[in-house]
Amino acid sequence: MNRPVTLTFSPLYQQIQAVLLARVVSGEWAPGTFIPSESALAKEYAVSVGTLRKSLDALASDQVVIRHHGKGTVVATHDTDRSLFQFFHLVRLDGKRSLPSSRVLLRKQRAPTPEEVKILALEIGEKVIHIKRVRDLDGSPTLLEDVVVSARFFSGLEIAPLPLPNTLYQLYEKQFGCSVANAEERLSAVAANEADEIHLEVKKGTPLLEIRRIAKDLQGRPVEWRVSRCETSQYCYFNEL
């Protein structure tokens, strides 16, 4: 009797990779801290170091951990250069990179729009926190952003702390235990409206680059919906393929 079942087979190193990821997600291994050594983990899971290495290398290529020769392996945080620019693609036309400062225009809790319910996979009755801010690059207002997150996971974000750091993902990580791991962005060109005219100091109708981002955590759950409208006379969106 032959059995055509494939079962849920997956290679050992992938199974271990998933387990290690789970320990990061659970908070057992916090961002910025060292995890046990290769040999210790290999012993714990009763596999060879080589197999465990493959798991860690995969997590490293996913930016979940960072390996340091001679020191150890740390859980990735959002305060390294590499990580900061993973989600910030605006560069000056001359190629220089810099991070923006920001001024918060609005911060409140409210009911979600139907679009937000869909994008953030919200449950019925769940509220959202909405932050609107202007981000300055080299002193001139360049980005007008609307940031929306679930009020359930980010309870209190609408009141404290003051001021907001301009790298929100560090705040999500430290204050709310939520690590943004990846995101998808959709870009299009739009005409400036009245709000843009006021906050970005451009004329109505000026072409703006609109970036719509869905940010996801380590488990792939959508955690933030962000729309950025950008004035691109001095800056552009840089992407390497």
Task: Show the DSSP H helices in 26-80 as ranges.
Answer: 38-45, 49-61
Neighbours of 161 (CB within 10 A): 10
The sheet that has 34-35: what strands, in order across it?
34-35, 72-75, 65-68
Of 6-14, 19-27, 40-48, 178-186, the segment contacting its own copies by CB under 8 A is: 178-186
Of 32-40, 140-148, 164-172, 228-236, the segment contacting its own copies by CB under 8 A is: 228-236
Q: Name the strand (E) or helix (H) holding 172.
A: helix 168-176
Residue 123 interacts with, from DNA, its own copies, none (CB under 5-8 Å by kind): none
Of these, 187, 195, 198, 227, which contacts its own copies (CB under 8 A)? Answer: 187
Contacts of 33 (CB under 8 A, 6+ apart): 74, 75
Of these, 148, 209, 224, 228, which contacts its own copies (CB under 8 A)? Answer: 209
- Burial label for 2, CB within 10 Å (0-12, 13-18, 19+), is exposed
Q: Is 205 in the site for its own copies (CB under 8 A)?
A: yes
Q: Is 45 in the site for its own copies (CB under 8 A)?
A: no
Chain residues that interact with DNA, rule: CB under 7 A:
9, 11-14, 37-40, 46-51, 53-54, 56-57, 67-73
Contacts of 219 (CB under 8 A, 6+ apart): 25
User: Measured from the CB of residue 50, what is the shortest distance to DNA in angstroms?
Assistant: 4
Residues that bind its own copies (CB under 8 A): 86-87, 91, 182-191, 205-210, 212, 230, 232, 235-241
